[in-house]
Amino acid sequence: MGEQGSSSSSCFAGFVVVLSLVLNASVLCNGGKTSNFVRKVEKTIDMPLDSDVFRVPPGYNAPQQVHITQGDRVGKGVIVSWVTQDEAGSNTVIYWSENTKQKKQAEGKVYTYKFYNYTSGYIHHCTIRNLEFNTKYYYVVGIGHTERTFWFTTPPEVGPDVPYTFGLIGDLGQSFDSNSTLTHYEMNPRKGQTLLFVGDLSYADNYPNHDNVRWDTWGRFVERSVAYQPWIWTVGNHEIDFAPEIGETKPFKPYTQRYHVPYRASESTAPFWYSIKRASAYIIVLSSYSAYGKYTPQYEWLKEEFPKVNRSETPWLIVLMHSPWYNSYNYHYMEGETMRVMYEPWFVKYKVDVVFAGHVHAYERSERVSNIAYNVINGLCSPVKDQSAPVYITIGDGGNLEGLATNMTEPQPPYSAYREASFGHAIFDIKNRTHAYYSWHRNQDGYAVDADSMWFFNRYWHPMDDSTTADA
């Protein structure tokens, strides 16, 4: 749980940060950087129900909470989802490409669910398939009642030198800060083409009885982005919605009803872990909250998954999960540790380029390190620099109502390259098979400002040291 920001605790945190910088500089020469950025007191409360961003679109049975995600293995499919409130209405999506203007249609399905005393609207999911690559499409939902038109652009065909730009947001929620994060993402001149979302969407579970009305408001809030570009979903702890005290014992119920993902296309047996190819990236999504021990479905799937990655086809290997493995904040400390012990040897063996996680409401970027030598008796249990290892990035700073994680472990561990407790988002901008430019953007800055950045060198095609700290 985060703490609510208050002026006294922020000042104190700022003092600790400055002090640690001095310590780092004078005592420890090999640590990374703890930012001394001084922020204003954050307004970490949820936007009220009558906020502009939650407005229901006008018209009888108008589709709301429209969102899209990749709908197949390679990006020629799109899952279109929306909610109608008055009646089920049509499950049809009408779509056409900017080039041909020839109208086609696809049929979806409609779902409803109950959660305690909440009954959902009519949740529609419709997969459009066999689209052309690299093409702008328009689509219409709400056929027969109130029609609404949106558009998206399909990715280029999967291939090794296809430039592509991914945005990164985690732990977004629906506070005033969440709105600022989303605005900064939309206004960033680097223009993310697809968003990788690392879990914790609505934070509805922070309300009495997990008031699922806050799932609906969140859906309306983010529509302005996710109706026009795919968001790739990862589950976080706030998607579990396990509440036996009110008779809700099926984990992930609201999330799985509302957010569909193309897990079957990657031979996964559950929507919580899956993979996609998109442009020059292979993206593996893992679940920190599903069993991952040996012999479990997720373990068996991941074991088969890594050998399938062909770096001549998709040079960039990206993993998304919610709970970070390398985290030097005093929040959720070591929660990712058991999964790290299970899977880290594979991440090193298969040379994952970067791992994005959320959960901790702050920002942190690691060095390339691994910690896989320990065998219970040899005592080799410290992270070591490892050029085959991924960079670990915590981007749980979307700005939800729980506030910032400001309390850091001191001194900053050597594996931590940069850390700062500010809200923001990041962009992973793939240039070609060897280079990607990564930048983190804090909400207090202008839209074009990089608060932290790094040139990634691909681990397969250009495995040179890309560390940013002086002694590396």
Ligand X SMILES: *[C@@H]1O[C@H](CO)[C@@H](O)[C@H](O)[C@H]1NC(C)=O
Site for ligand X, rule CB under 6 A: 47, 51-53, 117-118, 176, 179, 183, 209, 310, 312-313, 330, 407, 431-432, 434-435
Q: Which two tokens stand for residue 258?
A: 């509302």
424's contact among ligand X, Fe ion, none, with CB below 5 to 8 A by partner kind, is none
The nearest distance, CB 233 to Fe ion, in angstroms, is 14
Judged by CB, which is closer to ligand X: 224, or 303?
A: 224
Among ligand X, Fe ion, none, what does residue 359 contact (CB within 5–8 Å per kind)?
Fe ion
For ligand X, the closer of residues 112 and 330 by Cβ is: 330
Q: Which CB, 84 or 180, lies closer to ligand X?
A: 180
Binding mask 30-69 for Fe ion (x = CB under 5 A): ----------------------------------------
* Residues contacting 354, CB < 8 A, separation 6+: 318, 319, 390, 391, 392, 393, 428, 438, 456
For 225-247, the DSSP string reads: HHTTS-EEE---GGG---BGGGT
Q: Return d(Cα 418, Cα 326) in angstroms, integer.
A: 12
Q: Count residues binding Fe ion (CB under 5 A).
A: 4
Closest approach, Cβ 42 to Fe ion, in A, equals 18
Residue 330 interaction partner, one of ligand X, Fe ion, none, beta carbon < 5-8 Å per kind = ligand X
Q: Which is nearer to ligand X, 137 or 221 (CB)?
A: 221
**Chain centroid to CA 385: how far?**
26
Q: Considering the complex, what minimum distance in angstroms separates the CB of residue 26 from ligand X?
A: 22
Q: Does residue 170 bind Fe ion (CB under 5 A)?
A: no
- DSSP string across 347-413: HHHTT--EEEE-SSSSEEEE-SEE-----SSS---S-EE-TTSPEEEEE--S--TT-----B-SSPP
Whichever of 79 and 436 has its CB closer to ligand X, that residue is 436
Q: Which does 200 bind (CB under 5 to 8 A by kind): ligand X, Fe ion, none?
A: Fe ion
Considering only 359, 419, 441, 459, the residue that binds Fe ion (CB under 5 A) is: 359
Q: Judged by CB under 5 A, does residue 237 bind Fe ion?
A: yes
Smaller CB distance to ligand X: residue 386 or 445? 445
In the list 31, 77, 236, 324, the residue contacting Fe ion (rule: CB under 5 A) is: 236
Residue 288 as a binder of Fe ion (CB under 5 A): the answer is: no
CB 128 within 8 A of CB 92: no
Distances (CA, A) of 48 to 159, 223, 461, 466: 45, 17, 49, 44
Coil, helix or strand at residue 79? strand
Cα 218 to Cα 66: distance, rounded to the nearest angstrom: 11
Q: Which does 74 bind (CB under 5 to 8 A by kind): ligand X, Fe ion, none?
A: none
Return the structure tokens found at 388: 């085959």
Q: Is 252 left (phi over 0), alpha (psi -120 to 50) or beta?
A: left
Q: How many CA atoms lie within 13 A of 403 on its CB side?
A: 17
Query: Least distance from C-beta 402 to Fe ion, angstroms?
Result: 9
Q: Can you tell me which residue has the tokens 């409803």? A: 112
| Contact partner, 237, from ligand X, Fe ion, none, Cβ < 5-8 Å per class | Fe ion
Q: How far is the CB of 80 from ligand X (least distance, A)?
A: 24
Q: How far is the CB of 20 from ligand X (least distance, A)?
A: 12
| Spatial distance between the Cα atoms of 216 and 83, rounded to a whole number of angstroms | 9
Q: Which is nearer to ligand X, 51 or 92 (CB)?
A: 51
Candidates 46, 177, 200, 205; binder of Fe ion (CB under 5 A) is 200
Helix axes 176-187, 213-226, angle to 10 degrees: 20
Picked from ligand X, Fe ion, none, the partner binding residue 100 (CB below 5 to 8 A depending on kind) is none
User: In the bound complex, what is the minimum distance in angstroms from residue 393's beta carbon to ligand X?
Assistant: 20
Token digits for 157? 């065909």
Residue nearest to Fe ion (CB): 359
- Separation of alpha carbons 256 and 242, rounded Å: 13
Q: How far is the CB of 30 from ligand X (least distance, A)?
A: 23
Choose between 145 and 462: whose C-beta lies nearer to ligand X.
462
Beta pairing class for 391-395 and 363-366: antiparallel
Q: Which among Fe ion, ligand X, none contacts residue 435 (Cβ within 5 to 8 A by kind)?
A: ligand X
Which lies closer to Fe ion via its Cβ, residue 122 or residue 203? 203
104 binds, among ligand X, Fe ion, none (CB under 5 to 8 A by kind): none
> 168 - beta bridge partners?
196, 426
CB of 214 to ligand X, least distance (A): 13
d(CA 213, CA 71): 27
Residues annotated as catalytic are 332
Under 8 Å between Cβ of 1 and 400: no
Strand 281-285 and strand 274-278: pairing? Answer: antiparallel
Instruction: Return residues touching Fe ion (CB under 5 A).
Output: 200, 236-237, 359
